[in-house]
Amino acid sequence: MITLAFESSAKAASVALVQDGSLVSQYSQCSGLTHSRTLLPMAEDLLKNAETTLQDVDLFAVAHGPGSFTGIRIGVSTVKGLAWACDKPCVGVSTLESMAWHGLAAGGLVCPVMDARRSQVYNALFEIRDGKPVRLTEDRPLSLEELAAELRRRDAAPFLVGDGAALTARFLEKAGIPYRMAPENLLWQSAWGVAMAARDKTPGDSQSLLPVYLRLSQAERERQERMKNE
């Protein structure tokens, strides 16, 4: 099984080629350039250097949320287009679940966090069991206060990973809650994690692949607020 995976749900973008659970190649970029400029060129270079074609790929996988609304749309649209053009199956996976795979070596409680602004994060909790992350909670947006209260009740220092890790760490430190911080090479979202999270998911076709936002965009929230005040 050859999987071509895409991650574009946050600032970092990456593409990975994974065969039977083993990483063949991964390209990553965290330059601030828009993913619409970087994602497909990275995929093209990766496949060329791995001497692999799109027709060799058995499955396309993508992080379909939560995360940046624009980034998610770019990643999902890219995979939908490739799957349709190649007549191959595709699958969307939770960004947070894919991030939890970065905690394999750390073990214990893994706490992926993405900055959702306004002192909120996108989060889910996982525990490493038998060499893979096992989900403890659903993906959810919640405040740092709510997350800290939940972590305080758990008898384990969470392994923080994701673009919201530093923000969460500062809050937990002030609250006196112990934590473990992922090193820089494991901190950001990765397409390898997407490919690993996709292994036990049921694939579908390009039409069935949809983004998962968890909450309304800022523009939609502001529009609803204006409507309430009119």
**Rounded CA separation 165/181 (Å):** 7
Per-residue pLDDT tens over the stretch 143-153? 999 999 999 99
pLDDT value of position 33: 63
Q: Model-level pTM?
A: 0.92
Q: Are residue 88 and residue 110 in the same domain, yes or no?
A: no
Residue 229 falls inside a structural domain: no
Residue 230 falls inside a structural domain: no
Residue 124 pLDDT level (bands cut at 50, 70, 90): very high
Q: Are residue 87 and residue 195 in the same domain, yes or no?
A: yes
Q: Are residue 177 and residue 199 in the same domain, yes or no?
A: no
Are 25 and 171 within 8 A, CB to CB?
no
pLDDT value of position 60: 98
Mean pLDDT value of segment 2-29: 96
| Residues spanned by the domain of 120 | 96-187
Residue 181 falls inside a structural domain: yes
Mean pLDDT value of segment 23-51: 91
Per-residue pLDDT tens over the stretch 151-200? 999 989 999 999 999 999 999 999 999 999 999 999 999 999 999 999 99
What CATH number corresponds to the domain at position 122? 3.30.420.40
Mean pLDDT value of segment 108-135: 96
Residue 149 φ then ψ, to 5°: -65, -40
Q: Are residue 106 and residue 86 in the same domain, yes or no?
A: no
Residue 204 falls inside a structural domain: yes
End-to-end CA distance of the chain: give it in Å, rounded: 55
Q: Are residue 79 and residue 153 in the same domain, yes or no?
A: no
**CA dihedral (163, 183, 192, 136) positive or negative:** negative
pLDDT value of position 209: 97
Q: Are residue 101 and residue 85 in the same domain, yes or no?
A: no
pLDDT value of position 155: 85
Q: Are residue 148 and residue 67 in the same domain, yes or no?
A: no
Neighbours of 151 (CB within 10 A): 22
Residue 228 falls inside a structural domain: no
pLDDT value of position 30: 84
Residue 177 falls inside a structural domain: yes
Residue 135 falls inside a structural domain: yes
pLDDT value of position 222: 43
Q: Are residue 194 and residue 157 in the same domain, yes or no?
A: no
Q: Is 61 exposed, middle or buried (0-12, 13-18, 19+ CB in 10 A)?
A: buried
Mean pLDDT value of segment 66-73: 94
Question: Is the pLDDT score of 221 beyond 90?
Answer: no
Q: Are residue 152 and residue 109 in the same domain, yes or no?
A: yes
Q: Are residue 201 and residue 89 in the same domain, yes or no?
A: yes
Mean pLDDT value of segment 108-124: 95
Q: ∠ at Cα 123 (119, 125), nearest 5°? A: 135
Q: Are residue 176 and residue 218 in the same domain, yes or no?
A: no
Residue 227 falls inside a structural domain: no
Count: domains in the chain = 2
Q: Are residue 13 and residue 40 in the same domain, yes or no?
A: yes
| Mean model confidence pLDDT for the chain | 92
Question: Is the pLDDT score of 228 beyond 60?
Answer: no
